[in-house]
Structure 1
Amino acid sequence: MATNLDIKYGQNTHIVGTMNVDGLPNWGETFANIRLQPSTLNADDIKQFLPADAYTIASRLGTVKIDGRFLGFYNDFVANGSFATALGNVQSDINMKINRSNNASSYRGRLKTQNFNIGRLIGNADVIKTITMDGRVVGSGFTLEDARMEINADIAQLHLLDYNYRNIRTDGTLSRQRYEGRFAIADPNLVFTANGEVNLANNNQAFNLRADLDKADLKALRISDKSVIVQANADLNFRGLRLDDFEGTAFLTVPPSLTRPACRPRHDPGAVTYR
């Protein structure tokens, strides 16, 4: 049954397009093919239909402008389209599986963002802010604490702490605020490839990485207020996100190139210890 849609619901939801459904009146077994023309959707208007974790995230998006297609069941569907939100723009070709009984909702597919404020979305804006990326994600969970995502993506920009990093390639897993995998950065002030773990949990930010570090301008990266440039092959194991807070070790397999000689280690030119 094909139907033209022009539905207003709640305060800010207006759905315009066409819908072909099979299975009514049994909503749980109804398969829908919905093609939306420019429409709007607000989480507050549909709160009763969303799992609690999904609503928490969706409400931060504000009133979403949608142009795309939804194909599937209400709890297992593909969303293919563009979304303009209060946090930035998103394009997706994602399969969503929503499980209301145990909050184990999952997703997989292609995701593209433009200056999207992921920090506000996941409730950790002090650490991470906007991201512009194009890649594939497979995962479950909607908060930084419970999300587990496999990410294979090109990241044009990622604003982390006080610096907006450019040109990142990542292939790894994010689970319970910990990223594990491979990534490479070709930023004007940071050029390296690395393999290991990065923990973004509050009060437990830590790095455990093996890295080929071609260049790190610590002052430009706003890690230090002193002029320090490092070039080395490194084995990094430390806590903290700013130089003054670092605690741990950095083993450098080749002597670092530092613009400030006073920063050279006094005894072993291949190791630096922060306490």
Structure 2
Amino acid sequence: MNWQVIKFQVLKWLRRIVFYGLYGLVIFSVVGFGVLQIPWVQKSLVSQVTDRFSAVSGFTVAFDRFHFVWYDRLEITNLHITDPEQNSMIEAGNLFVNFSISNLLDNSDINLDAVSLTGGNVSLVSIHDTDTSVRLNINVFVDAINKQLSSGKKGGKSPKIRIAEVLVEQSLFSYNQTEKDSIRGFDYNHFKVALDEGNLDNFNIIGDTIEFQLGSLQIKDEKTQLHVRQLSTFFRISQGGMEFIGLNLDCNKSHISDTIVFRYNSQADLSDFNNKVQIDARLKNTVLHPEDIAHFTTGLEQWVEPIQLTGHFRGKVSHFTFSPMQASIGSSMVAGSLEMDGLPVIRETFINARLKPSRVYMHDLGFLFPQAFTSNLGPLNQVQLKGNFLGYINDFVADGEMITPFGLVQSDINYKIEETNLRQSAYNGQLKLTNFEIGRFLGDTVNFQKITLAGRIKGKGFTKESADFTLVGEVPSIGIRGYNYSNIKSNARFANQYFQGDLTIDDPNLQFAVNGSIDLRPGKDLINIDARLDTMLLHELHLSKEEIFLQSNLDIDSRGLSLDSLVGAAQFTRTLVQFRDETIKLDSIRIVSANDKGFRDLLLRSSLVDLSLKGNFYYTTMFTDI
């Protein structure tokens, strides 16, 4: 037999071996797959694994049907996983799994191509992990899987679980920390949500860390009816933190983006979210609606407009900084930085706000302050401001400047707001007004016009009727009844129909210095002053149609305003009166009036005439008769 014949025969045998080998492999695969389709075979094989796992972990795994669609695809019907305390942790109506055999055989890590869940019910409940510790059942379950898969591996390293794609539809998710009390609104410790649809990519479990790319998610909270219409993000959670990277969340009337990271010592801290969870959030065009926020906090019942936020948030809900900050609400926009310590109750929260040039409409911020307070500030309407706000909403220091519709206001004042009695609300600090239209602000343009002042003000009350304050400073100008008085210095107390202290005026038409008090309030009518009037041109001051000039030293101590009720003493020295072409000079005038049960005593002494009248008479009748 020659070489060619031998070669031909060998190739023929090889072809037959390969052909029959492949044929046998196909037959084996088909027969094997057919055997795997037998229900009792499937259930027997899977039950061996689940029973062994249940015996070790304490979790019971049961199912109605375990069906291999092909070697790399399977379907599980009515899957039930029960925790050691007999709580139903996972129920799956239909669970489809797509996997690669080569990946399963490659190592002990779990690699799945796709998982689809319909009609699921995931219930996370606190259970006793040991005699002294309580943990969520899902955490105990994951630890049990890691122990099973890592047994026999070098170093006992936990395996990795990877799922390329996950689709969840028409399922329920509940969270119940049984050792915690329930709270109003959204209950961090006890909640249940309905999941309409969720699409996840690159799902990974590595040790205690779970992460995935969430393409879309629609859920609704059963208690509050908060409805997440859309949620997409890269999500990562572990025992030390929770991350939402590239976040895009639409929930009811609110929208949140872009990145939020939560840090905590353990997931148990989530039950005291406001005080124990550190937040690092970079917000971009985030919109928070008060109706949604009301489910998470209290004390903001007066907040009605949504707020839009952009900036960097760091800290806990109870104590955080927000810098840089840009916030818009209604027609208002503020920028700068914000620190708050004390939330969620706004009235117990210390605020440190540093504002760059911002625009504020008072009605937009009305929810932060008592209604009576904002009503009094209502005339300010739109304000452009920059400066600092330090304190509580009812006890704070406002340091900065405001451009108002009435003029420029610069202040460094401590305000103490009495919500139940605004008339007793107090203020103390430095105030500077520039061309401020105080008449328009007070609603009395007949008696008051513009004012410019700088000084220290201390008092209470915010209306013309309730204001009672001491002003130590200068008033370069103030418009009263159509005349602009200038060069005024004050160290005096002012109130409605009341004055006490020192006041000097160095105006071209009025040069006047006074010390004392004038009390014209009902039932008082007291005047006690010591004054020097160097110049007073009544015509220029719009107080007389005639040209009248007055000059005198005054010392008055009297009670009563009407002529018949007037009692007391008044002394005028070095008096000069010019009326038209007439001039009257008086070195001294002393007037004493007394009234004892209708018996009057009038004494007049001057350099021109002395007069003494006693008897039962009325001044008005006497002067009329004269």
Distance 1:65 1:231 in 2: 46
| Equivalent residue number for residue 378 of structure 2 | 59
Of residues 334, 342, 363, the one that matches 1:15 is 334
Deviations 1:182-226 (CA, angstroms, capped at 9, x unpaired): 10000011111112345688xx99976431011111111111111
Residues 1-275 of structure 1 mapped to structure 2, 5 A cutoff: 1-3=320-322, 4-10=324-330, 12-103=331-422, 104-198=424-518, 209-235=529-555, 251-258=571-578, 260=580, 262=582, 264=584, 270=589
Distance 2:340 2:451 in 1: 36
Return closer, same or farther for 1:72/1:170 CA change in 2, 3 Å cut-off.
same
Give the Å deviation of 1:29. Answer: 2.3
- Larger relative helix fraction: 2
Return closer, same or farther for 1:88/1:207 CA change in 2, 3 Å cut-off.
farther
Return closer, same or farther for 1:132/1:239 CA change in 2, 3 Å cut-off.
farther
Distance 1:205 1:129 in 2: 27
Task: Indicate the RMSD between aligned Cα atoms, in angstroms.
Answer: 3.2
Q: Is the 8 A contact 1:68 1:82 kept in 2?
A: yes
Distance 2:587 2:512 in 1: 23
Amino acid corresponding to residue 355 of structure 2 in structure 1 = L
Unmatched 5+ stretches in structure 2: 1-319, 592-603, 605-619, 621-626
Aligned-partner SS, 2:400 = strand
% identical equivalent positions: 34
Amino acid corresponding to residue 216 of structure 1 in structure 2 = M
Amino acid corresponding to residue 362 of structure 2 in structure 1 = A
- Equivalenced residues, count: 266
Give TM-score, length-normalised by structure 1. 0.84
Q: Is the 8 A contact 2:439 2:446 kept in 1?
A: yes
Unmatched 5+ stretches in structure 1: 241-247
Aligned-partner SS, 2:403 = strand
Query: Which structure's relative contact order is higher, taking Cα pairs within 8 Å and 6+ residues apart?
Result: 1
Q: Is the 8 A contact 1:231 1:258 kept in 2?
A: no
Give the Å deviation of 1:19. Answer: 0.7
Deviates more, 1:135-144 or 1:55-64: 55-64
Amino acid corresponding to residue 365 of structure 2 in structure 1 = I
Q: Is the 8 A contact 2:575 2:587 kept in 1?
A: no
Q: Is the 8 A contact 2:428 2:456 kept in 1?
A: yes
Deviates more, 1:250-259 or 1:184-193: 250-259
Aligned-partner SS, 1:258 = strand
Give TM-score, length-normalised by structure 2. 0.39
Give the Å deviation of 1:14. Answer: 1.0
Give the Å deviation of 1:170. Answer: 0.9
| Equivalent residue number for residue 253 of structure 2 | none
Deviates more, 1:150-159 or 1:39-48: 39-48
